Amino acid sequence: MLPPVTDSKPLTYRDAGVNIGAQDEALARAKKAIRATFTPGVMADVGLFGGLFDPSKVGLGDQILVASADGVGTKIDVAARSGRYDTVGQDLVNHCVNDILVQGARPMFFLDYVGTGRLEPGVVSALITGCAQACRANGMALLGGETAEMPGLYKDGDFDLVGFVVGAVRRDRVLDGKRVRAGQVLLGLRSSGLHTNGYSLARKVVFERLGLGLEDRPDELEGATVGEALLAIHRSYLDVLWPLLEAQQLEALAHITGGGLVDNVPRVLGAYDAVIDRNAWARPGLFRLLVDRGGVDTEDCWQAFNMGIGMVLFVELSNVDAVRAHLVAQGEEVIELGHTRAAAGEEGEVVWA
């Protein structure tokens, strides 16, 4: 038999650690930013159980949908340490956009998820507003999302941020690695920093091994603070690469995320190797700080970090000049990384020149 309840005070949801009012306040703060992302395909306002989207309103006919989901990993710890929460929302959206862009898809809409121990309206609204800013910059709608307050599962101050993107590509323009051939040129585009990968190792190096704080300015960062360098926003490559995709001048793309060049380039190689010269570009200061001063293993760093290259383009030799000219006109530094060749085995890999 259960013992009688001795406390006569009614138990509320807030007593259990969940503040619905704070959730409503966070959404109310972010509504204006969310609505600013709405494209012609959006069919309803903020607040329905599901987002409604009409592809025909954005000119989509017989196209294939491409979807991806990701998070920002332990970069959220740096955001929490710094008290700045708007950048990681932009990181999340841009990462997801790049992940479907490499298959030739243009993004249509995005969904976000925030999980937290104690919902702080200012923090959550900043996270969602960051997502909205990047959605608008990428020309897609922030169609919906979810905010969950889960005391006991997350500690106070802890949170997680996850996103889901849906885009579309014409059937005859899907990039899936099948157009990779021997003799194609590999061009690299610069990253804007660590992007959203390698932060578990980077935080250990910066905060523990080197004992640096967020406001420190080591020489390698050339005037930037540690916080600024670590929170540099994961860039989107959509605007600069879309004209090349439309012109069908790219045979494949590889977004360099977790696993670095070593693991991401082979995802589209098939039966071809990618021969890459690691001396073809100068490492940005942040990577020199992490690897050289931080003492990260020479080979391990190539799998943990992007090492300054955020996107790899596979280009036929006959198109290289045109692709390079377009990129340079867009202000890009174009780095010739290497080339493709027939693999010795069944599956291709990255081979250091």
Q: Please check whether residues 247 and 154 belong to one and the same domain.
A: no
| CATH value at residue 166 | 3.30.1330.10
Residues 230 and 106 in one domain: no
Structure tokens, 336: 């010739």
- Claim to verify: residue 162 and residue 201 sit in the same structural domain: no
- Looking at residue 281, which CATH number applies to its domain? 3.90.650.10
pLDDT, tens digit (0-9, with 9 covering 90-100), for 144-180? 889 888 888 888 888 899 999 999 888 889 999 999 9
Q: What is the pLDDT of residue 192?
A: 97
Same domain, 190 and 337: yes
The 3-class secondary structure across 270-284, one letter per residue, is: CCEEEEECCCCCCCC
Q: Is the pLDDT of residue 21 over 90?
A: no
Look at residues 120, 151, 173 and tell me which one is the last residue of a structural domain: 173
Render 80-127 in DSSP notation, one character per residue.
HHHT--HHHHHHHHHHHHHHHHTTTPEEEEEEEEEEESS--HHHHHHH
Q: Which of 133, 148, 173 is the last residue of a domain?
A: 173
Indicate whether 3 belongs to any domain.
Answer: no
In a domain, 25, yes or no: yes
* pLDDT above 70 (res 17): no
Residues 162 and 207 in one domain: no
Residue 1 in domain: no
Question: How many whole angstroms separate alpha carbon 134 and alpha carbon 274?
Answer: 32
Same domain for 226 and 196: yes
Q: Is residue 80 part of a domain?
A: yes
Is 178 part of a structural domain of the chain?
no
Instruction: Specify if 8 maps to a domain.
Output: no
Please tell me whether residues 47 and 169 are part of one structural domain.
yes
Q: CA-CA distance, 231 to 91, in Å (whole number)?
A: 9
Give the pLDDT band of residue 47 (cuts 50, 70, 90): low
> Which pTM value belongs to this model?
0.87
Considering the domain architecture, whether residues 212 and 89 belong to the same structural domain is answered as no
- More confident: 300 or 42: 300
User: What integer pLDDT is reported at residue 286 of this predicted model?
Assistant: 97
- Is residue 82, in this structure, part of any structural domain at all? yes
- 142 and 245: one domain? no
Is 309 in contact with 253 (CB distance < 8 Å)? no
Q: Is residue 159 situated within a structural domain?
A: yes
* Whether 200 and 227 share a structural domain: yes
Residues 25 and 116 grouped into a single domain: yes
Tens of pLDDT, residue by residue over 253-277, are 999 998 999 999 999 999 999 999 9
Give the model's pLDDT for residue 63: 83
Please tell me the total count of domains within the chain.
Answer: 2
Q: Which domain does 22 fall in, by range?
A: 14-173
pLDDT digits (tens, 9 = 90+) for 322-341: 999 999 999 999 999 999 99
Across 217-246, average pLDDT: 97
Looking at the structure, tell me whether residues 240 and 289 fall in a common domain: yes
